Chain A
Amino acid sequence: MRRGMSIFNVTSLTLGFAFLYLPIVLLVVYSFNDSRLVTVWGGFSTRWYTALLSNQQLLDAAWVTLRVALVTATVATVLGTLAALALTRMGRFRGRTLFAGMVYAPLVMPEVITGLSLLLLFVAIGLERGFWTVTLAHITFTLCFVAVVVQSRLVSFDRSLEEAAMDLGATPLKTFLTVTLPIISPAVAAGFMLAFTLSLDDLVIANFTSGPGATTLPMRIYSQVRLGVTPEINAVCTLFIVAVTALVLAVSLVTKRETLAREAAARAM
Chain B
Amino acid sequence: MRRLSARANDIGRSRLVVAGPYLWLLLFFLAPFLIVLKISVSHDVIAQPPYAPVLDPSKGWAGMREFVGGLDLQNYAYVFGDAIFHESVLQSLVIAAVSTLIILLIGYPIAYGMARAPRRLRPLLLIAVILPFWTSFLIRVYAWMGILAREGFLNQTLRALGLIDEPLELLSTNTAVYIGIVYSYLPFMVLPLYAVLEKTDESLLEAAADLGAPPWKSFWLVTFPLSLPGIVAGSLLCFIPAVGEFVIPDLLGGSETLMLGKTLWTEFSVNRSWTVSAAVAVLMLIVLVGPILVYQHMQARSFEGGR
Q: Which residues of B contact A82 (CB under 8 A)?
A: 17-18, 20-21
B270 contacts the other chain (Cβ, under 8 Å)? no
A156-B306 contact given A93-B18, A112-B264, CB 8 Å threshold: yes
Cβ–Cβ contact A140 & B21, under 8 A = no
Pick from B110, B250, B281, B288: contact of A16, CB below 8 A: B110
Within 8 A of A (CB), among B1-43: 2-3, 6, 9-10, 13-14, 17-18, 20-22, 24-26, 28-33, 35-36, 39
Q: How far is the CA of A2 from the CA of B307 in the complex (A)?
A: 31
B75 contacts the other chain (Cβ, under 8 Å)? no
Chain A interface, >50% SS class: helix
Cβ–Cβ contact B113 & A16, under 8 A = yes
- A-contact 0/1 string along B293-307, CB 8 Å cutoff: 001100110010011
Most A CB contacts (10 A, CB to CB) among B117, B156, B236 go to B117
Of all chain A residues, the one with the shortest Cβ separation from B54 is A124
A104-B139 contact given A120-B274, A226-B251, CB 8 Å threshold: no
Of all chain A residues, the one with the shortest Cβ separation from B291 is A108
The stretch from A49-57, A66-74, A181-189, A197-205 touching chain B is A197-205
B85 contacts the other chain (Cβ, under 8 Å)? no
A103 contacts the other chain (Cβ, under 8 Å)? yes
B114 contacts the other chain (Cβ, under 8 Å)? yes
Q: How far is the CA of A13 from the CA of B29 in the complex (A)?
A: 39
A99 contacts the other chain (Cβ, under 8 Å)? yes
Cβ–Cβ contact A86 & B18, under 8 A = yes
A26-B143 contact given A79-B24, A136-B28, CB 8 Å threshold: yes
Cβ–Cβ contact B13 & A5, under 8 A = no
Q: How far is the CA of A116 from the CA of B86 in the complex (A)?
A: 21
Q: Which residues of A contact B149 (CB under 8 A)?
A: 39, 229
B174 to chain A, nearest CB (A): 19
Cβ–Cβ contact A86 & B25, under 8 A = no
Task: Tally inter-chain residue pairs, CB-CB below 8 A.
Answer: 275
Of all chain A residues, the one with the shortest Cβ separation from B190 is A16
Cβ–Cβ contact A116 & B268, under 8 A = yes
Of all chain B residues, the one with the shortest Cβ separation from A37 is B151
Q: Which residues of A contact B237 (CB under 8 A)?
A: 108
Q: How far is the CA of A55 from the CA of B237 in the complex (A)?
A: 38
Q: How far is the CA of A63 from the CA of B293 in the complex (A)?
A: 38
Within 8 A of B (CB), among A164-190: 166-167, 169, 171-173
A79-B21 contact given A116-B36, A116-B281, CB 8 Å threshold: yes
Cβ–Cβ contact A225 & B113, under 8 A = no
A240-B240 contact given A79-B24, A90-B18, CB 8 Å threshold: no
A124 to chain B, nearest CB (A): 5
Within 8 A of A (CB), among B218-269: 236-237, 240-241, 243-247, 250-251, 260-261, 264-265, 268
Cβ–Cβ contact A99 & B132, under 8 A = no
B140 to chain A, nearest CB (A): 7
Cβ–Cβ contact B22 & A95, under 8 A = yes
10 CB < 8 A contacts A-B: A19-B106, A39-B146, A104-B295, A105-B29, A112-B261, A113-B36, A143-B21, A203-B137, A204-B246, A237-B139
A27-B139, A79-B20, A117-B32 given. 9 additional CB < 8 A pairs? A17-B110, A20-B132, A30-B146, A102-B26, A110-B240, A123-B49, A201-B136, A233-B142, A244-B134
